[in-house]
Amino acid sequence: MLSLSDKPERNMVLLDDYEMEELDFVPIDPNHRSGYVVVLGKPNVGKSTLSNQMVGQKLSIVTDKPQTTRHRILGICSGADYQMILYDTPGVIEKKMHKLDTMMMKNVRSASINADCVLVVVDACKPPQKIDEVLEEGVGDLRDKLPTLLVLNKKDLIKPGEIAKKLEWYEKFTNVDEVIPVSAKYGHGVDDVKEWILSKLPCGPAYYPKDIASEHPERFFVAEIVREKIFMQYRDEVPYACQVNVVSYKTRPNAKDFIQVEIVVEKNSQKIILIGKEGKALKLLATAARLDIEDFLQKKVFLEVEVKVKENWRQNEGLLKHYGYGGQIQAL
Ligand SMILES: Nc1nc2c(ncn2[C@@H]2O[C@H](COP(=O)(O)OP(=O)(O)OP(=O)(O)O)[C@@H](O)[C@H]2O)c(=O)[nH]1
Ligand SMILES: [Mg+2]
């Protein structure tokens, strides 16, 4: 029997911190299942909220603005007899305005290379829409081979009768294996999604130790937390013009960890907005980010934030690769 009760512990470990040999000590269970799941969908439908719920901790930042997620984010959800490796991806967009958008979409596609199944998340509040484009961008030629679940999210926002109608529409007009209505925000239906995934994963041993939730280094999450606070504090185009890099991260045995972060913007006018009158806005941002970083790392830190201008960084392929958009995430 596959159990869903075992949530991963709140325990972040760097990839370098563990040795794969440790897995040799785990007795091989012939019924153990493991595999990769790619989470696709348009911007703002709740992909990150769903991924976080499944992993049991907040790995992906969530905001009410579209195009929050920029990298594919790996989250590991383990139980006694299963391990699901989830890829939360940036929202699939039609109009690619910058090189950054094109590179983000490449990262969506590359998440699907190892996929054993696909979740396509849609927003139940929106009129039903075909999902061909999302599948094309996300999995390309693999679309007919991979088991696909349509997750009808945000069901808490619509009436039960409406949910039934939308469910029927998606069952009729999309070529998916199943449709499950959920409310990722409140965790409703998330176990049904897990059950579906489990039924599609092949038998095999765990890829990662059972007590880790991600392979990204801590500094990656630090940068993401700062980016989330930027989205929450600033309006319009400003958050989209920001890139956050951790330039220094020093663990100190007898003092608070020292973290230096730079926010790169495209224009001086954006820098002025970020800093605010007498530096008040930046101070507010740094405090909000520090509190969340401390909560995430479970220790006190000293956070220094600086704003820099790099004109048109979103169009500069070299810079984009340097910032980690070229494939594997390099935390800066
Ligand atoms: N009411 C309600 N809101 C939800 C639900 N799931 C997500 N949201 C909200 O929808 C917004 C977008 O959620 P995200 O998880 O960031 O969406 P996303 O698909 O990852 O967005 P991108 O990364 O921008 O593509 C946030 O304000 C969430 O709180 C849900 O089940 N119910
Ligand atoms: Mg997201």
DSSP string spanning 254-268? TS-EEEEEEEEESSH
Whether 115 is covered by a domain: the verdict is yes
pLDDT beyond 70 at 7: no
DSSP of 19-49: -GGGGGGSPPPTT-EEEEEEEEESTTSSHHH
73 and 191 assigned to the same domain = yes
182 and 275 assigned to the same domain = no
Tokens of 112: 């699907």
Shortest-distance atom of ligand 1 to CA 65: 24
320: CB partners within 8 A, 6+ apart? 99, 100, 103, 313, 314, 326
pLDDT at 5: 32
Give, as residue ranges, everything with CB less than 5 Å from ion ligand 2. Answer: 47-48, 68-69
% of the chain beyond a pLDDT of 70:
90
% of the chain beyond a pLDDT of 90:
82
Domain boundary among 166, 200, 234: 200
CA atoms within 13 A on the CB side of 51: 33
37 and 136 assigned to the same domain = yes
- Per-residue pLDDT of 20-53, as tens digits, reads 455 555 567 899 999 999 999 999 999 999 999 9
Pocket of ligand 1 (CB under 6 A): 41, 43-49, 62-64, 66-69, 90-91, 153-154, 156-157, 183-185
Residue nearest to atom 26 of ligand 1 (CA): 64
Which of 49, 68, 119 most suits a substitution to test ligand 1, by most atoms within 8 Å of the C-beta? 49
C-beta of residue 118 within 8 angstroms of C-beta of residue 111:
no
- Per-residue pLDDT of 67-90, as tens digits, reads 999 999 999 999 999 999 999 999
pLDDT beyond 50 at 183: yes
Nearest by Cα to 138 from 101, 100, 107, 114: 107
- Rounded to 5 degrees, φ, ψ at 176 are -105, 165
pLDDT at 62: 96
DSSP E strands, 49-110: 73-79, 82-88
CATH of the domain at 257: 3.30.300.20
* Alpha carbon of 21 to ligand 2 centroid (Å): 33
pLDDT at 27: 62
pLDDT beyond 80 at 100: yes
Shortest-distance atom of ligand 1 to CA 44: 21
CATH of the domain at 108: 3.40.50.300
Look over the chain and give the mean of its residue pLDDT values, rounded to a whole number: 90
pLDDT at 141: 87
Which residues span the domain enclosing 255? 218-322
Shortest-distance atom of ligand 1 to CA 67: 24
pLDDT at 13: 37
* Alpha carbon of 79 to ligand 1 centroid (Å): 25
Nearest by Cα to 166 from 149, 184, 179, 183: 179
104 and 241 assigned to the same domain = no
| Structure confidence at residue 144 as a pLDDT band (50, 70, 90) | confident
